[in-house]
Structure 1
Amino acid sequence: MKSHFQFTNQQRNGIFLLLAIVLTLQCVYWFIPFDSGITDIENIENTNKIKGFKKEIDSLRLIEIENKKPKIYPFNPNYITDYKGYTLGMSIAEIDRLHKYRDTNKWVNSAKEFQQVTKVSDSFLETISPFFKFPDWVTNPKPQTQGYSKSYSNSSKIKTFSQKIDLNKATAVQLQKVYGIGEKLSERIIKERHKLKGGFVADIELSEVWGLSPEVIERVLNDFTVKTPRAINVYNLNMATRDQLVMIQYIDYEVANNIIEERTLRDGFKSLDELQKVEDFPIKKIDIIKLYLQL
């Protein structure tokens, strides 16, 4: 053992030198940050990437919020429903004022008149009025010359069935002779007639043409009527199946099921008007639906 712990002066100096080198390297390792510059650069790059990701996420979120907003298309304010008014931002009182005004068979013909009826604020009217779309005969009324007024007064006389023009054969030029019918409305009437593939069944289908007011329809029917109705399938209301009922315009499967249930409870319908008692029945379209039914 003694021989292992006895060193010469040269060996002792070598050991001390080795210990000094080890301690120096340890101090250098612990107290000098070799990679501090690299770490700072990496941190800056990571921070910039995170900021970039946040901006991208924020932009995507804004796009999604914008897409979820209900899009507003041009519309006639006279036909605003409860749901339409709610989505536009109208209050219940404002919607009710419009409906009460329309129930008197009056029409709103300008943005100013719309505000007078509904009492909406100026800021709301400024936002929504650019989307108002009124019929052509309101926005671009035909000038009433003396000759036109005279011809209109003559045509306002009640005509017999034989004197009237067949609505399914009337041309755009003939239709435009009616006060309130312009180029676009006459095109819509003819387009609706072609869409039905055979023409109108009855005069009531003229109400399906968008933009025709009841007053204009009345004037049209003073000179025109359906003389050559298209052939349709007419079903017995008390015997029609669900699949037959859904073939009728405005009746879907849910309404067809409700009709059959109501028919069973009543032991058969006694009148077509009793359809108004059916749950979810489109009452406003009953006159058109009745064209396809009989008892």
Structure 2
Amino acid sequence: MWKDFFYYSRSEQRGIVVLVVVLVLVIGVRIALPFMFDSPVLSEEQKAFLIKGKAINDSISKCKTKSNSVAILNGVVPENNLEKEVADTPLVWINLNSVDSSFWNLNINDDFFRDSINVFLEKYKCLKSLPLRKVKQYSDGQLFRWIKKNSCLKKQELLVEKIDLNMADTVQLKRIRGIGSVLSKRIIKYRNLLGGYVSKEQLKEVYGISPELYGRVKDDFSVSDGNVRRFNLHKDKISEISRHPYFKYEQVVELVNLSRKNKLKTDHKVSGFNSISEAQWVKMKQYLIFD
């Protein structure tokens, strides 16, 4: 190789030498360059500033990560992932009648709609449950409209007109659950025999009305006293009074005799009767006229 070098012309030899020298210089400068300049010397104040800046940057990064984690745990997801997260959320049904104020504070942003829903549900009952994902998807106004559409007035707020036992016909009586055609006719027939009901407890005396049925229907009835027929022992015939379910012939005779002697009062003691028990007297005196 070195022998070949001497076969080049003198000008070519000089060019090769110059090229080698240049390469050596370039390599040497590259190696020596880091040692030719001193590293910048920072003051303690500058060093503290850089350390503080790095700490703040790290803190911000951690807060962002933590905020995203908390947001996801609370059911809040970035907008671009909202549809996917909602679709992946398990189907949890919410009974809107039993949730507390914290639920509305979390899911209703507007104070007006939050207060309106709370006031509405004091008087109305929501008939359907709603998936939690729908609660989160609906706007405040949409949720309020959904609640109103699927609610009814609570039972205690319903103004139900009670049926007057002394005025009702069979059609009205049959509106009461448990009272059919047969029982409605019996109620009216017994009302005619009594001359009118003086209390709804007398329904228990109607054949076919069990204690259980009476317990279910008693609050659906009222009793007006104005049309009740009462007997005057001084004027009405004994035979007529005896047709009443509460009076027997011999009992009416005894009552008439006591009345003529002015010894019959509403507080008459049972011990003064010969044919009338205390329970019978309680019923009888409700259908008598006392002077």
The TM-score by the shorter chain falls in which range?
A: 0.3 to 0.5
TM-score (structure 1 length as normaliser): 0.33
Bigger relative contact order (CA 8 A; separation at least 6):
1
Which structure has the greater CA radius of gyration? 2
